[in-house]
């Protein structure tokens, strides 16, 4: 028997094949040649020998070589602020703003009236004050950076009082004690893990104290025998001693979501009203904008942050500022914010809407997968509302011989990739995080996954 691997075509021969030569129209010659070489090498190593269709395999390998690594995906997990999938999708207005600003020149650091240099820190400044009630505002690259900036500005070389119950890890190797030390301030723990009283802060205050820091326990809940002073009490204590109270609220919630069953998350305007010297929050969590860190607070402290050389290292770029300004502007009309900001729209979808959407999504799925709708739960994600239960309707798919993990893998490797949940032996799709305009694409992705399965087709 002859070894099929012996009769492999040469790279030159393959490059003359019309279907492969056509790839040269869309990709650099070097990349196509390399993809052909990869294909021939793989065929040589493979027991089965040459591929059924050379051009198909070359095309796939070319995509592997030249494809982007940062790509859009369809999020069918129902986790609204999915940190691994990029947290908040942007509002139309934010996308328009960043495209317009990115496509040309802008007023990033230019004062049109005076015709001279302006300040990038002026963007979003008035909106942050207006929407939070604070005297002044500043946007930097992310909230972790905002916290470092506020700590460094107010307490470098001095003590920062923080409750032992708030020495937390946010995720992605962001731990409050480590961040605090890196800012140049010194950690001074007060209280206990479950109970911290105002008197604990009071007795730790000294000439060495640079600031009091409170951090919202974003990603977990404490229940049982617990105590934390009320925000107004901390504000009063801080004001009485002239020490600034820095309040890290994390998620940047500006409006009340309690009517949708989402209560308990601190709102930025409430923290400002309670008397925080500066409130620090993310742009891409519940605020629903781009990755950014927002500071809203007292004039002198925010001015100090702005003038701190660290602000240069942590500055936000023009695309961020454009998208953040457009997102913030939507909050001037809270009803508009709820419909236009995707995170808020997804969180406030009613169970009835979700049931109807699940029905339409199921109808777009191939019948071989026996799509069935069933009640389920979505999650807010992004370390916000950790205990919240968001009722939804899921579409459950029976992957047959392919198995749920096999189908989920093929969906992830598709184009566009679809990220789904697996549970109870089914692939589960949650319409909460899918735009209805994507149902057709989901159906096509599922059919493609089944075609790839070939002989393994579901019975
Ligand atoms: C998420 C979070 C941060 C970090 O925000 P980034 O914008 O991701 O840097 C800081 N503090 C709290 C309480 C958070 O929840």
Over residues 47-71, mean pLDDT:
88
Q: Atom 10 (ligand 1): residue with closest C-alpha?
A: 250
Q: What is the dihedral of CA 289, 292, 295, 296, to 10 degrees?
A: -10
Residues 6+ apart with CB under 8 A from 86: none
Report whether residue 295 contacts ligand 1, using a CB cutoff of 6 Å.
no
Q: Atom 15 (ligand 1): residue with closest C-alpha?
A: 250
Q: Atom 3 (ligand 1): residue with closest C-alpha?
A: 250
Report whether residue 143 contacts ligand 1, using a CB cutoff of 6 Å.
yes
* Model confidence at 1: pLDDT above 60: no
Residues 6+ apart with CB under 8 A from 456: 401, 402, 406
| pLDDT, averaged across the chain | 94
Coil/strand/helix, residue 175: strand
Over residues 143-171, mean pLDDT:
96
pTM summary value: 0.91
Q: What is the dihedral of CA 163, 164, 170, 174, to 10 degrees?
A: 100
The residue whose CB lies within 8 Å of the most ligand 1 atoms, and thus the one to mutate among 282, 285, 293, 380, is: 282
What pLDDT score was predicted for residue 456?
44
Over residues 356-368, mean pLDDT:
98
Q: DSSP code of 8?
A: P
pLDDT band at 417 (very low <50, low <70, confident <90, very high): very high
Q: Quote the CA–CA distance of 392 and 352 in Å, as a whole number.
A: 9
pLDDT band at 4 (very low <50, low <70, confident <90, very high): low
- CA nearest neighbour of 60 among 413, 443, 450: 413
Q: Atom 6 (ligand 1): residue with closest C-alpha?
A: 143
- DSSP assignment of 26-73: TS-HHHHHHHHHHHHHHHHH-TT-S-S-HHHHHHHHHHHHHS-SS---
The residue whose CB lies within 8 Å of the most ligand 1 atoms, and thus the one to mutate among 216, 268, 285, 286, is: 285
Residue 193 CB coordination number (10 Å) = 12
Bridge partners for 247 per DSSP: 214, 279
Q: What is the dihedral of CA 70, 72, 76, 81, to 10 degrees?
A: 70
- Atom of ligand 1 minimally distant from the CA of 282: 7
How many angstroms separate the Cα of 243 from the Cα of each of 11, 206, 234, 397? 72, 10, 11, 57
Q: Quote the CA–CA distance of 271 and 302 in Å, as a whole number.
A: 16
- Ligand 1 centre to CA of 141 (Å) is 12
Report whether residue 383 contacts ligand 1, using a CB cutoff of 6 Å.
yes
- Ligand 1 centre to CA of 290 (Å) is 13
| % of the chain residues with pLDDT over 90 | 85
What pLDDT score was predicted for residue 453?
62
* Model confidence at 306: pLDDT above 90: yes
The residue whose CB lies within 8 Å of the most ligand 1 atoms, and thus the one to mutate among 217, 248, 279, 380, is: 248
Give me 441's structure tokens.
Answer: 């694409």
- CA nearest neighbour of 321 among 93, 121, 105, 110: 121
pLDDT band at 388 (very low <50, low <70, confident <90, very high): confident
- Ligand 1 centre to CA of 126 (Å) is 23
* Model confidence at 299: pLDDT above 70: yes
Report whether residue 289 contacts ligand 1, using a CB cutoff of 6 Å.
no
* Model confidence at 416: pLDDT above 50: yes
Over residues 426-438, mean pLDDT:
97
Q: Atom 12 (ligand 1): residue with closest C-alpha?
A: 250
Q: What is the pLDDT of residues 60-118, one digit of tens each?
A: 899 888 888 999 999 999 999 999 999 999 999 999 999 999 999 999 999 999 999 99
CA 115-118-123 angle, to 5 degrees, is: 125
Q: What is the pLDDT of residues 264-282, one digit of tens each?
A: 889 999 999 999 999 999 9
User: b vs e for 5-26, b when ≥16 Cβ sit within 10 Å of the residue's Cβ?
Assistant: eeebbeeeebbeeeebeebeee
* Model confidence at 459: pLDDT above 50: no
Q: What is the pLDDT of residues 162-198, one digit of tens each?
A: 999 999 998 777 899 999 999 999 999 999 999 999 9
């Amino acid at each position: 028997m002859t070894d099929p691997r012996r009769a492999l075509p040469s790279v030159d021969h393959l490059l003359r094949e019309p279907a492969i030569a056509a790839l040269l129209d869309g990709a650099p010659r070097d990349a196509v040649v390399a993809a052909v070489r990869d294909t021939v090498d793989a065929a040589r190593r493979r027991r089965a020998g040459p591929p059924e269709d050379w051009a198909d395999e070359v095309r796939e390998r070319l995509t592997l070589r030249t494809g982007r690594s940062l790509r859009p995906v369809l999020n069918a997990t129902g986790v609204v602020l999915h940190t691994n999938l990029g947290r908040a999708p942007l509002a139309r207005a934010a996308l328009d703003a960043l495209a317009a600003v990115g496509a040309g020149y802008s007023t990033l650091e230019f004062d049109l009236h005076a015709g001279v240099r302006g300040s990038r820190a002026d963007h979003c400044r008035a909106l942050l004050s207006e929407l939070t009630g604070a005297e002044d505002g500043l946007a930097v690259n992310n909230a972790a950076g905002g916290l470092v900036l506020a700590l460094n500005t107010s307490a470098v070389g001095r003590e920062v009082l923080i409750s032992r119950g708030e020495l937390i890890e946010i995720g992605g190797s962001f731990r409050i004690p480590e961040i605090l030390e890196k800012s140049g301030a010194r950690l001074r723990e007060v209280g206990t893990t479950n109970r911290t009283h105002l008197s604990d802060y009071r007795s730790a205050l000294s000439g060495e104290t640079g600031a009091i820091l409170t951090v919202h326990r974003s990603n977990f809940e404490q229940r049982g025998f617990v105590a934390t002073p009320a925000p107004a009490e901390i504000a009063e204590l801080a004001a009485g001693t002239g020490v600034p109270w820095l309040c890290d609220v994390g998620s940047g919630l500006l409006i009340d979501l309690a009517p949708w069953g989402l209560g308990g998350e601190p709102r930025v305007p409430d923290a400002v009203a309670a008397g925080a010297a500066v409130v620090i929050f993310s742009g891409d969590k519940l605020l629903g904008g781009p990755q950014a860190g927002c500071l809203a607070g007292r004039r002198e402290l925010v001015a100090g942050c702005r003038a701190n050389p660290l602000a240069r290292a942590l500055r936000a770029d023009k695309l961020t500022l454009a998208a953040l300004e457009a997102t913030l502007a939507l909050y001037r009309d809270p009803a508009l914010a709820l419909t236009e900001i995707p995170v808020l729209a997804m969180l406030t979808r009613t169970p009835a809407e979700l049931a109807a959407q699940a029905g339409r999504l199921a109808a777009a799925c191939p019948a071989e997968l026996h799509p069935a709708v069933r009640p389920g739960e979505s999650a807010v994600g992004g370390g916000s509302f950790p205990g919240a239960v968001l009722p939804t309707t899921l579409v459950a798919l029976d992957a047959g011989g392919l198995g749920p993990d096999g189908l989920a893998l093929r969906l992830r490797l598709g184009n566009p990739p679809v990220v789904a949940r697996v549970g109870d032996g089914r692939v589960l799709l949650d319409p909460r995080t899918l735009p209805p305009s994507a149902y057709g694409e989901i159906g096509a992705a599922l059919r493609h996954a089944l075609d790839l399965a070939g002989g393994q087709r579901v019975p």
